[in-house]
Amino acid sequence: MSWDDESNELDAITANGWANLSLQNQAAAQLSRMRMTRKVIQSEMLCSELNRKNIKLEDENAALKAVMSGLLDRNTALWQVVVHLENAWQPRGADPTAPALAVQPMVAEKQRALASDPTLIAEKERVAAEWMNWGKAQVPPRGKRR
C-alpha cells in the first residue's frame, strides 16, 4: 500500500467522522429548537390565560422565565407569578403606585382555595402530564436509533 492510498483512506475516515459529528450536531440543534418551541408555546398559553383573567405582566419575559423554572401550570399560574416574581403584575385599572405586597394576603387565600379544590388538582395533574409528554413522541430516547 502506497503512501497516497493510506492518505486517501485516512481522508475518507476523517470525512466520515466529520459527517457523523455533523449529524449529531444537527440532531442536537433540532432538539434544542423543539424544546425552545415548547417553552414559547407554554409561555403563549400562560399569557393568554393571564389576558383572560384581566391581569397583565409588566415584564414581558416574566412568563417565559416562570415557565422555564417550572413554576407554572394552567390553574395556579396567576397566583404563583405574583408570589415568585415580585412586582411582575398589576390588575388592570388598579393604582400602579400601590405596592404589590398589598395583594399578597388575597393571593395566599386564593392559593389555599385552589390547593384544596379536587377538580383543579385533577386538572393540574392532567395538564402537567400533557406538557411533560408533549415532545416525547417526536424525540427518540438517548442512545437508541430509529
Q: What totals of helices (H) and strands (E) does the chain contain, helices first?
A: 5, 2
Instruction: Give the Cα separation of 109 and 38 in Å (integer).
Output: 31
pLDDT for residue 67: 54
Domain presence at residue 145: no
Query: Taking the model in full, what pTM does it have?
Result: 0.23
Domain presence at residue 143: no
Instruction: Give the Cα separation of 115 and 68 in Å (integer).
Output: 22
Domain presence at residue 140: no
pLDDT for residue 5: 60
Domain around 16:
3-132
Residue 128: all three cell numbers together: 402537567
Provide the domain count of the chain. Answer: 1
Please list the pLDDT of the chain residue by residue as tens digits (146 residues).
555 666 566 566 555 555 555 666 666 666 666 666 666 666 666 666 666 655 555 554 555 555 555 555 544 454 444 444 444 444 545 555 555 555 556 666 776 776 777 777 777 777 777 776 665 655 555 665 55
Domain presence at residue 141: no
Domain presence at residue 138: no
What is the maximal distance between C-alpha atoms in the chain? Answer: 85
Question: Across-strand partners of 55?
Answer: 91
Domain presence at residue 64: yes
Domain presence at residue 139: no
Residue 56: all three cell numbers together: 397583565
Angle, in degrees to the nearest 10, between helices 118-132 and 104-116: 90
Domain presence at residue 142: no
